[in-house]
Structures are given as structure tokens and as C-alpha cells.
Amino acid sequence: MNLTNEECQYLFDNLPAQLTAMLLKGLVHNLNGPLQVVSMQTELIDKIKSINQQQIDNLQANITRLEKQIQCMANHADTNNTQAQPIILNDLIEQELTFWNADLFFKHKVTKTINMFQKQVFTIAQEATARGIIGSCIALSIENLRHKTPCNFEITCSITDNPAAYSITFNQNGSPFTEEQKMDSAQQAFETVYPTSLLKKYLSVKTGKTGWTLCMDPQKLSIIIPA
């Protein structure tokens, strides 16, 4: 599959939308689970004409799961707002982890350790770009873990004083981030796995334009955000 420069630029500009499309099956799967529970519970309540506290709690928990999934999908669909705005970093990371659980390999096969910021911190950025950067780091981690057993993934958030900055580090024990992807064809790279070379370019360009810093080590990606 030979691409023109214009086609390559289009793929780059629309990378977040491409990744969302790849996750469509998993997004539907994650919506279907709590939706089935809510449906079964409401049918049971209608049949017996009563409800207990456990049923209420179960319904509320699954409705909350549905709301989170729908909000994550809505966030990724909203690409028109180009204004910089305050973003709570813990919330952004949590939302992206929820979204990327639509990759069922990541959801079921990867052991995750998440160390959020100990206090609520925020930055000013264009939300779609910030979401694309965090999501691309997770996508790269998933792809590098795909042929590893066991699969371990860790996010560590910290605050540095000199210089004052927020650090978000992504660690994984799979293939090195610095290793180039080897694929049989360009078409396979876009249809069967996340395109790691394009993700790396996206991260490099978008972090630079946002004023963030990207550091890439063999097993670690770090995003440094000025405080």
C-alpha cells in the first residue's frame, strides 16, 4: 500500500479517530455488559414488583459504568473545541484508561499499576490534543506488550520542583519503545495493530506544539508538563 504525502498527512491528522475506529468492537462490548445487567435487573423488579437495597446498588453501579463509557466516547468524538482550557490530569488519565479498556487484550491480559498524582493538579491545554497524547502513550504501551507474557503496565505520576513540572511516566515490560515496528505491509500496520511509527511521530509533534516534553527510553515513556 503506497501512500501519497497528502494521504500520510491525513492519516497523521486523524490518528485519534483511526484508533477510536479500531476500538469500536471493544467499546460496544464494554457498553453491552452493564447494559445487560441493568436490563435483567429491571425485568426482575418488574416481575416481582419489589426492589431491595442490593438491587438498587447493583443498578446504580452499572448505570455509573455506562455513564463513564458514554462520556469517554463523547470526549473522543468532540474534536471541534480547539480552545485551551484547564484539564485535571488525574481525571484525564482515568478517562483514557477507561477508554483504552476497549482494547480487550489490554483489559483482560495486562496487569496494571496506576499511581496517580497525590493531589489534584491541572494544566492548560487543548483537550483533544492532551487526550491524544495520553492515549497514544497507552496505545504504544499496549502494542509493545502484545507478544509478551506476563504483561505488566504501570503509570506513575509525580511532581518535580526544579524545574516545576508534572511528570507522567508509562512503563511496560514488552518490546522496547525505541525499537522500530516490523510489519509485512503498510496495510497490515493499519488494520491489525496500532501503527507505532505514526504514534511516535504524533507524540513528538503534538507534545512540542503543546509545550510538553516527550522522553523515550527502551521501556519507559515520560511526558513532562510545565507546572
pLDDT at 184 over 90: no
Q: Which helix (H) or strand (E) holds 116?
A: none
pLDDT tens figures, 98-146: 889 989 899 999 999 999 999 999 999 988 889 889 999 999 999 999 8
pLDDT tens figures, 76-106: 766 666 788 999 999 999 999 988 998 989 9
- For position 192, what pLDDT does the model report? 44
* 3 state DSSP class of 100: helix
* Other beta carbons less than 10 A from residue 191's beta carbon: 11
Q: Among 127, 114, 212, 87, which Cα is nearest to 170's? A: 114
- For position 58, what pLDDT does the model report? 76
What spatial distance separates the first Cα and last Cα of the chain, rounded to whole Å?
A: 43
* Strands of 103-150, DSSP E: 110-115, 122-126
Select from 3.30.565.10, 3.40.50.2000, 3.40.50.300, 3.30.300.30 the CATH code of 5-226: 3.30.565.10
Q: Which helix (H) or strand (E) holds 82?
A: none
CA distances for 177 relative to 84, 102, 137, 145, 147, angstroms: 29, 22, 10, 10, 14
Q: Which helix (H) or strand (E) holds 169?
A: strand 164-172
- The answer to pTM > 0.85 is no
Comparing 172 with 147, the larger pLDDT belongs to: 172
User: What does the mean pLDDT of the chain come to?
Assistant: 82
pLDDT at 28 over 90: no
Query: How would residue 187 be classed by pLDDT, with cut points 50, 70 and 90?
Result: very low
- For position 191, what pLDDT does the model report? 38
Question: Please, is 83 exposed, middle or buried when counting C-beta atoms within 10 Å of its C-beta (0-12, 13-18, 19+)?
Answer: exposed
pLDDT tens figures, 212-227: 999 999 999 999 999 8
pLDDT at 1 over 50: no
- For position 193, what pLDDT does the model report? 65
- For position 181, what pLDDT does the model report? 57
Comparing 185 with 109, the larger pLDDT belongs to: 109
